[in-house]
Amino acid sequence: MAGTGTITEQGITLSGASYAVAGRPILSGLTLSLTEARIGIVGRNGSGKTTLLRLMAGLVAPTEGAVRIEGADPADRKAMLRHLGILFQNPDHMILFPTVGEELAFGLRQMGESAERAAAAVDALLAAEGRAHWAKAATATLSQGQRHYLCLLSVLLMRPRTILLDEPFAGLDLPTQARLARRFATLPQRLVTISHDPAAVATADRVIWLDAGRVRADGPPADVLPAFTAEMARIGEADADADLAG
């Protein structure tokens, strides 16, 4: 995830955003303006990373405060098609169609493209990716890494300004991780990468460390990641499970 500086737009803003379930705070008073091109969000299991992603994606609404994506409410699905793409950790949650071609065309059809134009855009993308033979391939026969890559292609076809990546390298072998990382590095979009792994965000422009639903540190990776890594090692040496119940 190589940092390429700042994408000058409104970006993603959180203003005192909190999220609670049955009165239990999961995210507390987050105020952030995310305009950089490469943003990493790190935190240990249960720190609230996925909940933050769901908040930014409009899948849940903040119980207090506000979230805006390029000035728009993330619950506005139509606006979000252009603003935001999401690559979930598990591609099985995203793939709906029997063939790669149908899967890729779906997002464009959602955006109002005709069947012919969508099919042409899918064919052009697959040809550009050296995977023209994939168009009629059955999605069920793809490997985990290939399914992940297919989901990325689906998102790219829709040309959103920002892509949210949830643990993008989890479960992928090292060559697939390297190939995906190279692909991410070339993308003009703003990438927000959520991971428990400092290596996944080491080249970001900005890293936010989430701890128990709050921002514990926010800055360049060289400032944030050594402290995060030291703290994770310290907790691991103590008893990693002691606060799992929390």
Ligand X SMILES: Nc1ncnc2c1ncn2[C@@H]1O[C@H](COP(=O)(O)OP(=O)(O)OP(=O)(O)O)[C@@H](O)[C@H]1O
- Spatial contact of 4 and 39, defined as CB atoms under 8 Å apart: no
- Spatial contact of 126 and 132, defined as CB atoms under 8 Å apart: yes
- Choices 46-54, 121-129, 172-180, 201-209 (CB under 6 A): range interacting with ligand X: 46-54
Q: Decide: is 201 part of the binding site for ligand X (CB under 6 A).
A: no
Q: How far is the CB of 166 from ligand X (least distance, A)?
A: 8
Q: Decide: is 48 part of the binding site for ligand X (CB under 6 A).
A: yes
Q: Decide: is 46 part of the binding site for ligand X (CB under 6 A).
A: yes
Distance CA 218, CA 43 (A): 12
Q: Which residues contact 101 (CB under 8 A, 6 or more apart)?
A: 119, 122, 123, 126, 134, 135, 136
- Spatial contact of 215 and 30, defined as CB atoms under 8 Å apart: yes
Q: How far is the CB of 82 from ligand X (least distance, A)?
A: 26
Q: Decide: is 25 part of the binding site for ligand X (CB under 6 A).
A: no
Distance CA 3, CA 191 (A): 10
Residue 245 structure tokens: 């119940």
Q: Which is nearer to ligand X, 59 or 124 (CB)?
A: 59
Element (H, E) at 191: strand 190-195
Q: How far is the CB of 177 from ligand X (least distance, A)?
A: 18
The single residue among 38, 49, 83, 148 that binds ligand X, judged by CB under 6 A, is: 49
Residue showing tokens 């609670």: 20
Site mask for ligand X (CB under 6 A), range 143-182, x = bound:
----------------------------------------
Distance CA 84, CA 81 (A): 6
Q: How far is the CB of 27 from ligand X (least distance, A)?
A: 8
Binding site for ligand X (CB under 6 A): 21, 26, 43, 45-51, 196
